[in-house]
Structure 1
Amino acid sequence: MRSILITGCNRGLGLGLVQHLTQLPNPPENIFATCRDVSKAKALQEISRTKNNVHIIEVDLTDFNSYDRVVNEVNAKVGNEGLNVLFNNAGMATKFTRLGMVKMEQLTETYLVNTVVPIMFTKAFLPLLKKAADGKKGMGIHRAAVINMSSIIGSIAENSMGGFYPYRCSKTALNAATKSMSIDLEDDGILVACMHPGWVKTDMGGTSAPLDIDKSVGDMIKLLPTLTEKHNGCFLQHDGKILPW
């Protein structure tokens, strides 16, 4: 993969993905990392100062009118090669919410960030993804791929706890969108899958989580080059296990 764009890189898994990618023996030529406020992304700034292949793009992803600018910034770097990988990582979570406590604002805001944004952002980048896929064979990150960061909480089959209405419903909807994308983009040679990073010690996952960022991200970075046609439209765990919808 020559280029990758990762959303939500100011901290957590997004920042971890950028860090691990820069440490690969053959890192991507261009790593685009989005964040809402560059001034608050100190660690990301430090990486970009020492790694000239890391490009920070400041954008509020709920500002859909800004997408053309972001696409143009990426296009200016990748040119005719297009964008190999779009990793829709940015998201938000709400606290454990039982039905009697859930608020309409929680549902609509979480759905906007976790579902609507990845769909619309992918739509905006289709021309660059198609450009990267054109003329190549097979499916995978060598060609073009969209990876949507999901969660096992979005699995209907694995729901044994209830609650989590805003987060759970938004990730289930993202899984459904991922499956549709995988069908719609198959003829263009663009692989689409959703990924569960595990329960990770982040601001979102909390301190009780069994996985640290390095382990989760390290697994995902190892998994990405192994993705082929058989993974198109799949719900994958960080270690490659296929998860139930």
Structure 2
Amino acid sequence: MALILILGASRGLGRALTEAYAQQGHRVIATVRKAEDMAGVKALSAEVLQMDLADPASVSGLAWRLDGESIDLALYVAGVWDGKDAGVPPSQPQFDAVMHSNVLGFMQVLPQIAPMVQAAGGVMGAFSSEMSLLAQADGYAWLYRVSKAALNMAVVSACQQWPGMTLLALDPGWVQTEMGGAQAPLTLQQSVQGLMQALATVTPEDQGCLLRHDGLRTRLNQGQA
């Protein structure tokens, strides 16, 4: 039985991953932002922590709340999509909301839980997107793209700081969630199944890559000598 930490499990992919890993018999600790979401996630046989991952003050006690744990798999799923509504340029509230959730939260969480993932020789994945890749950039959803490109940089920059754990970015694909919309080509179940299968194949050589739901890998530091 592995210990799996899901950061951002109120709905969508985070909640579905919490349920799927719990059904496999793993011990799952999941975070939710609102108190009213706790009962539903707890009913999935998960341990639940209330925490706003976009708020550094809320995140500051995470290491203390997990003290003594050894984490086999940590997934930073929390994130917001503002591609449809963000103007050019985005407003400061739009920028702050997207960057705090998609980037700052991960950067605040990582140093708190990395020693616990190290202790297990485990894996930590931050949910990104192929839309983050510079080679695929266009003018659509540029604030979201910028946030995920910054997240990728945080992942790659942190790889050397915590040896003994495998740190990577994850691309769940375009999924039929509240964020992805009904027109998305992947069902929630397809994405979750693919992600779990891909994560089960991760080795230390995958450090710093973008791992897709279908198992394909892209090196995020390809441009380095």
TM-score, normalising length: structure 2? 0.89
Q: Which moved more, 1:109-118 or 1:61-70?
A: 61-70
Amino acid at match of 1:63: D
- 1:218 and 2:218 matched: no
Amino acid at match of 2:216: K
Structure 1: tracts of 5 or more residues without a match: 133-142
Aligned-pair identity in percent equals 27
Residues 1:131 and 1:68: Cα distance change in structure 2 (over 3 Å)? farther
Distance of 1:88 and 1:235 partners within structure 2: 14
Partner of 2:177, secondary structure, is: coil
Amino acid at match of 1:43: G
Residue 77 of structure 2 is matched in structure 1 by: 89
- 1:35 and 2:32 matched: yes
Runs of 4+ that moved beyond 6 A: none
1:148 to 115, 120, 126: 126
Structure with the bigger percentage of helix: 1
Residue 110 of structure 2 is matched in structure 1 by: 122
- 1:56 and 2:48 matched: yes
Residue 18 of structure 1 is matched in structure 2 by: 18
2:164 to 189, 197, 219: 189
Structure 2: tracts of 5 or more residues without a match: 221-225
Distance of 1:98 and 1:69 partners within structure 2: 32
Residue 2 of structure 2 is matched in structure 1 by: 2
Residue 105 of structure 1, CA deviation:
1.9
1:71-101 CA-partner distances (Å, limit 9, x unpaired): 233225x3xxx22222110011103357546
Residues 1:181 and 1:41: Cα distance change in structure 2 (over 3 Å)? same
Residue 67 of structure 1 is matched in structure 2 by: 59
Partner of 1:189, secondary structure, is: coil
Distance of 1:244 and 1:228 partners within structure 2: 14
Residue 135 of structure 1 is matched in structure 2 by: none
Residue 223 of structure 2 is matched in structure 1 by: none
Which structure carries more relative contact order (alpha carbon 8 Å, separation 6+)?
1
TM-score, normalising length: structure 1? 0.83
Check whether the contact 2:128–2:170 (CA below 8 A) recurs between aligned residues: yes
Residues 1:97 and 1:75: Cα distance change in structure 2 (over 3 Å)? same
Residue 138 of structure 1 is matched in structure 2 by: none
1:88-131 CA-partner distances (Å, limit 9, x unpaired): 10011103357546322212221111001101101111332233
Equivalent pairs counted in the alignment come to: 220
